[in-house]
Structure 1
Amino acid sequence: MENKFDQDNVSPTSNEGSGEETKKDFKGFLGSTKKFLVEVLEIRSNTDPVAAKEAIIADIPFKGHTSWILVCSIFIASVGLNANSTAVVIGAMLISPLMGPILGMGMSLAINDIDTLRRSVKNFVVMVVLSAVTAFLFFYFFPLRDESSELLARTQPDIRDVLIAFFGGLALVIARAKKGTIASVIFGVAIATALMPPLCTVGFGLAIGNVGYAAGAMYLFIINTIFIGLATFLVIKYLRFPMVRYANSKRRRFIARVASIVGLAVMIPAGFTFYKVFKESLFKKQAQEFLSETIELYEFKNNGRYVDNLTELVYVNDDNAYIEIVCMGNEEIPENVINSWRNRKNNYSRLKNAELRVLQGGKDDSEEKFNYISELYESKKAELLTKDERIRVLEEEIANLSKNAALQIPFQDISAEARANYENLSALGFSYRIQTDFNKLDTIPLFEVKWKDGISADQVQKEEAKLTNWLKIRLQNNKIQVKTVND
């Protein structure tokens, strides 16, 4: 009993002691984790604000050598986009000096430096105009102006472009602020944010007279610019770069207000752009899910076909959006099936107000619809003709050429041999005749012959049959026909 009593008295004390030790261990673990994360993520201690500011300001001007480097890089990028070569475009981005004014604008807003902001904006405008004019001149005078997939990819920005620009800008300004700048990061950001290709596409759109291409590419460029500048502004503020001081306190306050207003004016459209592009991406994501559950699963019984490459997903706002699909062939999708798709569309929150358009070859084979689909195909052919598709098309062309070459008649040789073998032959002609039995269409090699005067009808018939057999054997073609013509 005494032992049991002692144990009962000791046990609670032991449990309390173990609980306190567990709390201490947990607090120690949290403290160690926090210390570790601070050491890993802390960047202020290894920042050189003076050197970073000087480096950014040095990259702002576009004069002399820098302007020529920009022109050359724009030409290289334009050639790469025209040739649909990603490697060439990447090479052009590596030598492009486009980042300087953008970083300058973000930094000057963060440190209240109105003079640097003025120079940055001026050089930014020079950069955009010089780049667009250079690309315009290239595409306007260059004879090959195909709408390659590399060009078309720069006309419709989405949420990924926003994220790439923002995080690319973060990486770039952090690398600039570090003691001993990380050059590889700068090169990587130049490639990832892709400032140059949209400017080249602006020039391309203007050169071919397609304002939509130019506007879409400029929109993408503005998105990249705003979010790189916004990332620069936030990092400079976080790193607590010293503010520019002015002797006149009244002027200092005025400039601070102007910088704050400009910074706010930049961030408002940036937030609006992000929100709009984000909603558009959600719309397209749900639209793709809807298509995968409806038209892509529909089984055509005859010769109908859903042309997925011609599908258009257009989103302007929640009340102005549509999904347009194209079906080719003579088979018509029943109206009740299309209505069921429209009902299913309403199950998606982002698609309720969107219009579903179904263009069918069997339902409307008018000339206008044919022209519309043809134009739609032409606008999308650059996306359709990937390398594999081009190879397949070329292989089919080679096969057709080989087949046609095999059908060619060596008429000069045949006529010489026929004249030597048939002494009564006075003239020989050849042509292809298209004929049909209303079940199929066929192309027949037809030889027309004239015989010398004075031979009997029986002799003509025998000579004609003999010539026919010889031609079939000589040319290895049983479709050959021979016809005697009279003057």
Structure 2
Amino acid sequence: METENQKKEIQILVFDYIRDLFQIKLGTDQKGTIEYITSAAEFKGISVWTLIFAIFIASIGLNTNSTAVIIGAMLISPLMGPIMGIGLSLGIYDFDLLKKSFRNFLVMTVISICTSTLYFFISPLTEADSELLARTYPTIYDVLIALFGGLTGIVASSRKNRMSNAIPGVAIATALMPPLCTAGFGIANGNPKYFAGALYLYIINSVFICVSTWFIVSYLGFRSVEYVNQETKKRIQKYIYIISFTIIIPSIYMAYDVISQSNFRKNANQFIQSNFNLPKTKILTTNIVRNPRNKSIDVTLIGEPISEELIGHIKSKLSQYGLEDVELNIIQNSDSEKLSKAMNVNRNEVLDNLKTKDEKIRYLEAELSNMKDTEKMIPKVAKEINILFPEIESISFGDLLVQSTDNFSNQKSVSILIKWKNKVADIQIKRVELYLKSRLNLEDLTVHNEF
């Protein structure tokens, strides 16, 4: 009997401990929370200028791809106030606060987009870097971030001893400001896709912060400002559910598309690594494309060309990697076009070693023939360069006379001058050099780069 009583006492103690551990109603400050959120929902005077300055900072951060600058802008942004104000007003049925918060929310949104659009109109940097692109394709994961971020924000705000570090953390996690700046970038650069994607992310964040606030306020039992009958309460809840569900649907599709894209690229890379490990042929570049109109894998090879039979065998393996409906394009350098390496040796030394006039004549004739062959190849190589490396603006080919100060000899070196449209990574420069040396069969080729 005593053993049974002890078990019950232990169960009660464990239950009480767990209940106290997850208790959020204890320590709630209803009056202080309402005053705090109502004050934060105001938007005039210093709040307007704080928002404008923060938008400029965030836009610069996105434009220069600086995460630290973007985080700094989010910390000083007043955008959270009206959004939590809308959620609070729905929870306590304060329709005056609802009207004021919603009006301020719209004004803030318009000012933010106009400010960021103005910045990106005058900014000389027009490239969309990773920080900016990350805000153009929201998924269900962004919904979850906004939902849990909003829950954190309202729970922290509802305490008598407010967690001072929670609200800044929520502002960073939910990232209200960067999508607005990205929307301005889309307008300034005439890109409706960027604008629509960024605005959708902003709506997701705003709605689910609002829904989280409404849910917690209702759960904590905040007193209603106005009397509302059960029928009206149910209608308001119905509208909240409908709006939330409607906003979620596109994000689910986008998440599915992102996962499918990731799996497709994973399978394609595995296929390439497994089937193009050839002893005398190397991969120069790969291009994996997946969109509603096209699924393709382009593989550019250098070295010894592979046979049509081997190409067919490789294509037959696509189904083993879940790539049945994918078009495989193999691009390889043409066969049988060889260039003489005589252009890379000491020309004068060779001529000196030739004893008879006939030998010298034959050498010079061979050199002239090689030069003509090289000239014939240049247009072909230029076309290939244009396709394989669109970042290149122009390419110049010529002989460079190299004089040695050690033995006072000189020789001709084949040189290529590449002019790039923009600054590119070193690995891309190496790829071009590798391609040119293999394509022209010139190991001692000198490549000069200009940006």
Q: TM-score if structure 1 supplies the norm length?
A: 0.64
Pairwise CA distance, 1:186: 0.5
Which structure would you say has the larger Rg?
1
Task: Describe the shift of the 1:478–1:75 C-alpha distance in structure 2 as closer, same or farther (beyond 3 A).
Answer: same
Pairwise CA distance, 1:445: 5.1
Task: Describe the shift of the 1:188–1:41 C-alpha distance in structure 2 as closer, same or farther (beyond 3 A).
Answer: same
Mapping 1:412-423, distance limit 5 Å: none
**Counterpart among 129, 153, 164 of residue 134 in structure 2:** 153
Matching residue of 2:410: 478
* 8 Å Cα contact 2:285-2:301 kept in structure 1: no
* 8 Å Cα contact 2:136-2:194 kept in structure 1: yes
Pairwise CA distance, 1:256: 3.4
Matching residue of 2:249: 272
* 8 Å Cα contact 1:112-1:259 kept in structure 2: no
Matching residue of 2:236: 259
Matching residue of 2:314: 337
Q: Deviations over 1:214-261 (max 9, x none)?
A: 111112112212221222122112111112324xx7xx5675355334
Task: Describe the shift of the 1:270–1:208 C-alpha distance in structure 2 as closer, same or farther (beyond 3 A).
Answer: closer
CA distance in 1 between counterparts of 2:34 and 2:80 reads 14
Matching residue of 1:65: 46
Matching residue of 2:283: 304
Matching residue of 1:46: 27
Matching residue of 1:356: 326
**Counterpart among 368, 371, 374 of residue 436 in structure 1:** 371
Moved more, 113-122 or 193-202: 113-122
Task: Describe the shift of the 1:291–1:205 C-alpha distance in structure 2 as closer, same or farther (beyond 3 A).
Answer: same
* 8 Å Cα contact 1:114-1:259 kept in structure 2: no
- Would you say 1:182 and 2:163 are equivalent positions? yes
* 8 Å Cα contact 2:268-2:321 kept in structure 1: no
- Would you say 1:328 and 2:300 are equivalent positions? yes
Pairwise CA distance, 1:321: 8.5
Moved more, 92-101 or 152-161: 152-161
Runs of 5+ unmatched residues, structure 1: 1-16, 315-319, 347-351, 364-432, 448-470, 482-487
Look up the SS of the partner of 1:180 in the other structure.
coil
CA distance in 1 between counterparts of 2:96 and 2:132 reads 37
Share of identical aligned residues, percent? 34
Q: TM-score if structure 2 supplies the norm length?
A: 0.68
Moved more, 320-329 or 29-38: 320-329
Look up the SS of the partner of 2:42 in the other structure.
coil
Mapping 1:78-477, distance limit 5 Å: 78-246=59-227, 256=233, 259-273=236-250, 275-301=252-278, 302-305=281-284, 307=286, 311-314=288-291, 323-329=295-301, 334-342=311-319, 344-345=321-322, 355-362=325-332, 436=371, 438=373, 443-444=398-399, 473=405
Pairwise CA distance, 1:96: 0.5
CA distance in 2 between counterparts of 1:321 and 1:128 reads 35
Superposed CA RMSD in Å reads 3.5
One-letter amino acid of the counterpart of residue 264, structure 1: Y
CA distance in 2 between counterparts of 1:104 and 1:204 reads 28
Look up the SS of the partner of 2:299 in the other structure.
strand
- Number of equivalent positions: 353
CA distance in 2 between counterparts of 1:270 and 1:27 reads 48
Pairwise CA distance, 1:123: 1.5
Q: Deviations over 1:140-189 (max 9, x none)?
A: 11122222111111112233322221111111011111112212111111
Pairwise CA distance, 1:436: 2.5
Runs of 5+ unmatched residues, structure 2: 334-367, 379-396, 414-451
Moved more, 186-195 or 107-116: 107-116
* 8 Å Cα contact 1:434-1:443 kept in structure 2: no
Matching residue of 2:381: none
CA distance in 2 between counterparts of 1:130 and 1:229 reads 20
Moved more, 471-480 or 140-149: 471-480
Q: Deviations over 1:89-112 (max 9, x none)?
A: 111111001111211222222222
Task: Describe the shift of the 1:133–1:112 C-alpha distance in structure 2 as closer, same or farther (beyond 3 A).
Answer: same
Look up the SS of the partner of 1:181 in the other structure.
coil
Task: Describe the shift of the 1:271–1:160 C-alpha distance in structure 2 as closer, same or farther (beyond 3 A).
Answer: closer
